[in-house]
Structure 1
Amino acid sequence: MPQAQPLPELDPRFSDPKASAADWSDAAAQLRDAELFWLTTVRPDGRPHVTPLIAVWHDDCLHFCTGPGERKAKNLRENQEVVLTTGVPSLSEGYDVVVEGEAVRVTDEPTLRALADAYVHKYGPDWTFTVGDGVFVHEAGEALVFRVAPRTAFGFAKGDPFGQTRWRFAQ
C-alpha cells in the first residue's frame, strides 16, 4: 500500500505564483467522493484505450471492476500500467486528480467482500455484488476486481489560483 501522506511538490511551470501545493488528504477525499473516473489502459499494439467507469477508494487505493471479456480486462492481461482520472469539466474552477499505478487483481474473499460493501455504500443497491471464486458476481455476470495503489498522482487546481501538484509515493 502507498504511504498515507506523500510530500506534495508544486510545479511552478504550471502554477500561479500565488498557488501552494495541495495536501494529499484533499486529493484522497476527492478520490473517495468522485462518482466517475476515466481509466486509461494500453492495448497490445501500444494504442491507448480510455473508458469511463466507477471506482471506490479503499485502504488508500482505487479499486475498479470489469468483465473478463471487456477491452480493458484484455489490455490488463498484457500491461498492468494504468491511469485513473477524475475531476470537473471546467477550465476555470474545480480540481482534477490523476493517479498513475499498476492495476493488480484482487482475489481474496475478505477484501472482495469489503469492496462489494463499499460499492453499495457509494453507488447504491444497483451495484450489489456477491463474491465467488475470486471475482464479483452480478446478475450481468462476473467481474474481475483490480486495485491501483498510487505511484504518482497529480492535482490540477483550476481558477484563481491555478496550480499543479505532484505527489510521489514510496512503493
Structure 2
Amino acid sequence: MTGHANSRSIVVGVDGSDASAAALRWAAAQAHALSAEVVAVHAWEATAPHIAPYAPAAERRTPAEEREAAARRLAETLRLAFGQWGDRAVRAELVEGHAVRVLLDRARGALMLAVGRSTHVQGGPPQVGPVGRECLRHASVPVVAVPASEPDGPGSPARSV
C-alpha cells in the first residue's frame, strides 16, 4: 500500500460512528493549532468473497455498490463532524483494504493517529473497538483514542472503531 501521511498530518480512522466524528473534530482542533492537515481515512473491504454462494442474490452487492456505500459513510461522518460546509484542513481518503492495515500504513510518518472510542457502557470505562486496539498495539506513531460525545439518551447506540 502507498499513501503514507506527511509529517504535518493527523490521520483519523473513520467508520461512520459518533466516536469517529468526535475523533475528527478533536483532530481538526489539533491540526489548526499545529498548522497541520487531517487525513480522514475510511477503509472498506469487498464482502462478496465472504458471502455463502447459497445466500440470496439480494444479499450480494457489487464492489461498485460497496465502494459507493463506503463513500457515503465517509461523507456522512464528515457532515456529522463538521456540518455541511466541512473543514478545509480535512482531506478525505477512501481506501479498499483491511482497516487496521490501511490505518497503520496511512499513519506511517504522520504526527499521530486518532481513533474513536465509545462512551461509557453501563458504568464501565470507554471502550476502544478491535481496530483501535490493534492500532494502539502496532502503530509507529502516537495513537489517541478520542471518546465519543455522550449519547442523546438511554438506548442510544455508540459504536467504536
Q: TM-score, normalised by structure 2?
A: 0.26
Say which structure, 1 or 2, has more relative contact order (CA 8 Å, 6+ apart): 2
Higher strand share: 1
Q: TM-score, normalised by structure 1?
A: 0.25
Higher helix share: 2
